[in-house]
Amino acid sequence: MKTASLFSFLMLLTAPFLQLTLSAQTLRFDNPIAEQRADPWVHKADDGTYYLIATAPEYDRIVLRKSQTINGLKTAEEKAIWHKHSKGVMGHHIWAPELHRIDDVWYIYFAAGEAENIWNIRMWVLSNHSDDPMQGTWKEEGQIRTQRESFSLDATTFEHNDKRYLIWAQNIRGDKEGTALLLSEMKDPLTLTGPEIVLTEPEFNWERQKYLVNEGPAVIKRNGKIFVSYSASATNHTYCMGLLWIDEQANLMDAGNWHKSAGPVFYTQEELKRYGPGHNSFTVAEDGKTDVLIYHARDYKDIIGHELSDPNRATRARVLGWTRSGFPDFMQLVGD
């Protein structure tokens, strides 16, 4: 993995100037899209339906809502489609679910601890063969097994050149609060083939605030590159987002082909009352062409007690810009 110098990365983002289509300039979101919903993932189905899945602050269930528009998700009826176990695995810390449609089957990837050992967190999968993920039966497919048996979470999957991949966060150093991002090919939606390569570890100061964290990866492919956003540091006002990228023709399983931003690309902006933005996903607006960033943040800085006990991370939406050099512009100084 190669780290881009801060100067060169800022040049990629800011020069030449940002290009936005007219539709993107006039697009407005009714933020927040969902109160008290963290780690948001919005999936746009082939028929145009939007599904929102996110972490509930009680950490006890997986909830899902759908709408024909992004703004409509705000008032859409929410359904709890799965609840935590009363004992054993999948019994606590139900975190960061993602909804994917693979070969006409719905899958939910999520993290969960044990009822008796709440920090023994691993990655789990549910499946549903119904046409509508709000209907049908969700089957527990079990744990995603990795080469290391350690704290792991935030799995996301994508396809490229007829191969499926998984990116996830995992403790690889034996440090309780430390997570890196790893990548592996998949044999099927439930099984890794290996090898498992490390894409990024917390190395910069902005990735090491209170905790050593790289987590919450999200993939977007544009302009001949594969971009991976991710989140870093504690889930308070220090939470922020970094960026990885690779040429789409390069070997994804060679860590040396990946690049990493030296600085955060989206972070707290007090003037806009945007604190701790992160754990995002990407979707496309109703026009079929405007990229949209879905993320969570708080509108205040000071938290009473532990940040994970504060319920007020809210799901928000904003247009994702692009520079003429083909890089995403998160428009740090622009409000939602």
Catalytic residue numbers read 39, 215
DSSP letters of 117-144? STT--EEEEEEE-SSSTTSS--EEEEEP
Contact (CB, 8 A) for 292 and 52? no
Contact (CB, 8 A) for 265 and 279? no
DSSP state of 28: -
Name the strand (E) or helix (H) holding 22: helix 22-26
Cα 10 to Cα 7, 15, 277, 298: the distances in Å are 5, 8, 19, 26
> What's the burial of 311, exposed, middle or buried (CB within 10 Å: 0-12/13-18/19+)?
middle
Instruction: Give the SS3 label for residue 4.
Output: coil
DSSP state of 53: E
Number of residues that make up the chain = 336
